[in-house]
Amino acid sequence: MTAQFGAKSTTDEVLAGATLTGKRVLVTGVSAGLGVETARALAAHGATVVGAARDLKKAERATEPVRRDAAHGGSLSLVELDLASLKSVRACADRLTADGKPFDVVICNAGVMATPKGKTSDGFETQFGTNHLGHFVLVNRIASLFRNGSRLVNLSSSGHRFADVNLDDPNFERTPYSEFGAYGRSKTANVLFAVEFDRRHRGNGVRATAVHPGGIMTELGRHMTPELRQMMTKSIEDANKAGNLPPFEWKTVPQGAATSVWAGFVAPADLVGGKFCEDCQVAERNENPAARGGVRGYALDPENAKALWAKSEELVGERF
């Protein structure tokens, strides 16, 4: 019988008894928070982890626990990746493909949240460009390195419920900008990318899924003003009251990283493929605005996913 895990499960609990020796994993965003914990847990169980980060010096310091806890042949190496620059993304992908070593799991963990209105170096709205387009190009450029039986895990968020993607105005050129509206679009895009990647590659034994790690106090919220943080907290509290739900509780970092590890290594591939997961479970569709959990239908819509893929190719100037 498969063990049952939930919101308070940690990475080490999810991986208890597992041996990942011989597994090779790419984790983006290993300079802080969930990325570091994900890499630590995997290396501690024997995985060969390639960690990607924009600031390699910061990542080198942050990943000392990964190297310290590595066991059973587990290891960590670092590669430079700035998701806000397609030049950097392509250089990283080229380096990985030139190396030629396949991956068993790719975890797209890096991201930004609630940033002021801005643009990436390629002119894309910061959150959509970084959270979605950067990973879109990276993953597709290294798609040949996915082993049969491998998985893609995209970190999305319950914040996908803030907004569907807007393919007519992805860069807020005509739409009024809001920090959480832009974040919601990018997190919906993370789910839709997994849905379409899964459709395209499952025939070759490669599956993709998206996960919500939960509410965790990490560097992800570094761009949030006190006003924005207060607004987000009030929104959660109001939704809980309206839905007669218990008070919101922050997760620890090991609890937050658990769903990524569960979806990548523990859950059956057919269970999570093309799905949205939270609290180490597959989330149910839920259109109730007062609901704290669940996934919006537009984030799993296959036609929406195909349209986003086509628009993304158009924006980055590549077809995959």
CATH number of residue 295's parent domain: 3.40.50.720
Give the type of residue at 166.
Answer: N
In a domain, residue 89? The reply is: yes
In a domain, residue 241? The reply is: no
pLDDT at residue 220, as a whole number: 56
Asked if pLDDT for residue 236 goes beyond 90, the answer is no
156 is catalytic: yes
Choice among 156, 157, 260, 312 that is catalytic: 156
Mean pLDDT of 30-58: 98
Residues 6 or more apart in contact with residue 70 via CB below 8 angstroms: 43, 44, 76
Asked if pLDDT for residue 70 goes beyond 80, the answer is yes
Asked if pLDDT for residue 1 goes beyond 70, the answer is no
- Residue 271 token pair: 């269970």
Q: Would you say 160 and 195 are in contact if contact means Cβ atoms under 8 Å apart?
A: no
Number of domains in the chain: 1
Residues 6 or more apart in contact with residue 108 via CB below 8 angstroms: 28, 135, 138, 139, 152, 153, 154, 155, 190
183 is catalytic: yes
In a domain, residue 233? The reply is: no
Q: Which domain holds residue 261?
A: 11-224+251-316
In a domain, residue 5? The reply is: no
Choice among 23, 158, 187, 275 that is catalytic: 187
Mean pLDDT of 172-200: 98
- Split at pLDDT 50, 70, 90, the class of 289 is confident
Residue with tokens 């036609």: 303
Mean pLDDT of 53-79: 97
pLDDT at residue 215, as a whole number: 83
177 is catalytic: no
The helix-helix angle for 179-201 and 226-242 (nearest 10°) equals: 70
Choice among 9, 183, 251, 312 that is catalytic: 183
Residues 6 or more apart in contact with residue 95 via CB below 8 angstroms: 79
Mean pLDDT of 290-303: 92
In a domain, residue 231? The reply is: no
In a domain, residue 229? The reply is: no
Cα distances from 267 to residues 36, 156, 190, 293, in angstroms, run: 21, 18, 20, 19
In a domain, residue 246? The reply is: no
Q: What's the pTM value of the predicted model, to 2 decimals? A: 0.91
pLDDT at residue 114, as a whole number: 92
pLDDT at residue 248, as a whole number: 63
User: CA-CA distance, 80 to 85, in Å (whole number)?
Assistant: 11
Q: Would you say 227 and 246 are in contact if contact means Cβ atoms under 8 Å apart?
A: no
pLDDT at residue 228, as a whole number: 61
User: CA-CA distance, 134 to 81, in Å (whole number)?
Assistant: 9
